[in-house]
Structure formats: structure tokens, C-alpha cells
């Protein structure tokens, strides 16, 4: 009986092999970037040349991704925001920092670490590190346990404490909203990368302070920059291997 079942089960795959019937395969978007290792460089000198209170990158990101403006610090959702220089680079802070650095805003977002603690702690694999280096977020699978938020040393992740839809200023149809109970964070605009576009913040910056590039390409602007000026990273001693490089 078992033998007959086994034989019967072999018929379809066997036939497919023999007759060269290929199942329809999905493929990546043709115009998308692939096979790369993405990283971002932030030129703080150029950023600080912008006018006081410039928020172009933040507004662009939050518009494109339907990020809600909740209004309270406790429940805020943010993919990209600014923190004070001393808080971004605490190991570089001392009593006699240069005046031009002290208290200045540094734009921060998910570092897309190479050794991400959030990925290790996620119980459902709703967040994982893609081959091209982006730490992806699957809102469908997230159960809202917030272990990833506890694990992230940079505070990059936000939780939707309430239904975000009433708080979205202007809805972008091209991207879904999230529901109450999922964690979200910067995703390096992976949906834009799939269409061959640059991340929204990079495009929006008028001072061209944000540089996005491929670390695997030895001739890319990214690699040239990393060879050039002195680079800072947020808390590199933690061993997360962040992929966002700051140039002062």
C-alpha cells in the first residue's frame, strides 16, 4: 500500500522533469537594484549648512511611507529624526567639544546593522536581514511583542500604540499604512529601490548631505567617501556593525 502511494506520488514530479514543464517563476523587478550591499553616508557639515530647522528628509520620508504624526512623545512613530550631537556620539563628547558640533542636530534612522540585535530577538522572523544588507520588516508577521525595540541600541524602531490612520497628514496610496500593534522603522526605501529610485530622504535633501550607495562596488561614490574624510558611527563598540556613516 505504502509502496503504491510512493509510486503514485512520484508521477507528477517525474512527469514535470521529463516533459520540461516549468512552473511559473516570480522574478525581481527588472529595473530594481540587486546584488548590492547598501549603505548610507551622512555629511553633517553639509547638513548643518542648511537653514535652521530644516526637516526636508524627515518630511519626505514620513510622507512617502504614511508615517503618522501622533503628537505625543510616548506614542510617537518616527522613521527618521534628529538627535543632539552629544547623544548621537556619546563617546566623542567631552567638556571641550568644538562649538560647531555642540548641540547640533544629527539625523538618525535605522542603521541597517550587519549584525542586528533586533533580528536575533524577533520570535517570528518578522524582521530579517536581506542579502543586500537591508534589515527588512514584514508588517504582516509582526506580533507586536517589541523585543526588537528592546534590542535596538539606537532606538530606531517605533511601535504603533494606536491605529495610525487618523494621524496621517497626507496619505500616499503607493504604500500601505500599518495597523495598531506593529513595529516599524526605516527600510532604506526598499520599495523605491525596487523601482530604481533613490531613498526619499536622499532625494529630498537640498544640500545633498545624504549619500546612498553600494559598498560592494569599489568605484562607487560611497566607497570614495569612506576612504576620504574621518567617519563616525553610532556606538560601534556595541558590535552591531552599523551601515550608516557620519562625516563631520
Partner 1 sequence: MTFFDGRKIIPGLLFFVGLVTYPIWYNTLSGKATSVPKLEIPKDKKECIEPKNIIRVHHKEILEDWRTSVVRNGMRVYQASNQKKYTMSLNRTCMECHKDKTKFCDRCHTYMGVTNKCWDCHLYPQELEKGAK
Contact between 28 and partner 1 by CB under 8 A: the answer reads yes
Contact between 24 and partner 1 by CB under 8 A: the answer reads yes
Contact between 21 and partner 1 by CB under 8 A: the answer reads no
Contact between 5 and partner 1 by CB under 8 A: the answer reads no
Nearer of residues 32 and 86 to partner 1, judged by Cβ: 32
Neighbours of 214 (CB within 10 A): 19
Q: Closest approach of Cβ 179 to partner 1, in Å?
A: 5
Query: What is the Cα–Cα distance from 117 to 119, expressed in whole angstroms?
Result: 5
Strand partners, 43: 247
**224 Cβ contact partners less than 8 Å away, ≥ 6 residues apart:** none
Query: What is the Cα–Cα distance from 21 to 141, expressed in whole angstroms?
Result: 33
Contact between 29 and partner 1 by CB under 8 A: the answer reads yes
One of 14, 90, 176, 236 touching partner 1 (CB under 8 A):
176
Neighbours of 177 (CB within 10 A): 18
Q: Which of 31, 18, 232 is nearest to 244 (CA)?
A: 232
Contact between 143 and partner 1 by CB under 8 A: the answer reads no
Contact between 216 and partner 1 by CB under 8 A: the answer reads no
- Per the listing, cell 520620508 goes with 61
One of 43, 113, 185, 190 touching partner 1 (CB under 8 A):
190
Q: Closest approach of Cβ 191 to partner 1, in Å?
A: 9
Contact between 174 and partner 1 by CB under 8 A: the answer reads yes
Query: What is the Cα–Cα distance from 29 to 44, expressed in whole angstroms?
Result: 34
135: which 3 cell numbers?
534589515
Of 30-59, binders to partner 1 (CB under 8 A) are 30, 32, 34
Nearer of residues 43 and 132 to partner 1, judged by Cβ: 132
Q: Does an H or E element contain 190, and which?
A: helix 190-193
The site for partner 1, by CB under 8 A, has a size of 27
Of 71-110, binders to partner 1 (CB under 8 A) are none
Q: Which of 52, 59, 114, 65 is nearest to 81 (CA)?
A: 59
Contact between 147 and partner 1 by CB under 8 A: the answer reads no
**226 Cβ contact partners less than 8 Å away, ≥ 6 residues apart:** 41, 245
Nearer of residues 138 and 217 to partner 1, judged by Cβ: 138
Contact between 115 and partner 1 by CB under 8 A: the answer reads no
Query: What is the Cα–Cα distance from 114 to 239, expressed in whole angstroms?
Result: 9
What residues make contact with partner 1 under the rule CB under 8 A?
A: 24-30, 32, 34, 128, 130, 136, 138-140, 165-166, 168, 171, 173-174, 176-179, 190, 194
Amino acid at each position: 500500500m505504502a509502496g503504491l502511494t510512493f509510486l503514485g506520488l512520484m508521477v507528477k514530479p517525474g512527469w514535470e522533469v521529463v516533459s520540461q514543464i516549468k512552473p511559473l517563476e516570480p522574478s525581481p523587478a527588472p529595473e530594481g537594484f540587486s546584488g548590492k550591499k547598501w549603505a548610507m553616508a551622512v555629511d553633517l557639515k553639509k547638513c548643518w549648512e542648511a537653514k535652521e530647522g530644516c526637516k526636508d528628509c524627515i518630511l519626505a520620508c514620513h510622507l512617502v511611507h504614511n508615517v503618522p504624526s501622533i503628537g505625543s512623545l510616548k506614542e510617537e512613530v518616527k522613521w527618521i529624526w534628529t538627535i543632539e550631537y552629544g547623544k548621537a556620539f556619546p563617546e566623542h563628547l567631552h567638556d571641550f567639544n568644538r562649538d560647531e558640533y555642540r548641540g547640533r542636530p544629527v539625523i538618525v534612522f535605522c542603521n541597517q546593522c550587519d549584525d542586528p540585535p533586533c533580528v536575533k530577538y524577533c520570535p517570528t522572523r518578522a524582521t530579517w536581514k536581506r542579502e543586500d544588507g537591508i534589515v527588512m520588516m514584514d508588517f504582516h508577521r509582526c506580533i507586536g511583542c517589541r523585543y526588537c525595540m528592546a534590542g535596538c541600541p539606537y532606538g530606531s524602531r517605533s511601535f504603533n500604540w494606536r491605529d495610525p490612520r487618523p494621524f496621517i497628514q497626507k496619505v500616499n496610496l503607493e504604500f500601505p499604512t500599518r495597523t495598531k500593534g506593529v513595529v516599524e522603522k526605516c527600510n532604506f526605501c526598499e520599495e523605491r529601490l525596487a523601482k530604481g529610485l533613490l531613498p526619499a530622504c536622499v532625494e529630498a535633501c537640498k544640500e545633498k548631505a545624504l549619500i546612498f550607495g553600494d559598498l560592494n562596488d569599489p568605484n562607487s561614490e560611497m566607497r570614495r567617501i569612506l576612504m576620504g574624510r574621518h567617519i563616525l558611527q553610532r556606538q560601534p563598540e556595541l558590535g552591531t556593525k552599523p551601515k550608516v556613516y557620519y562625516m563631520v
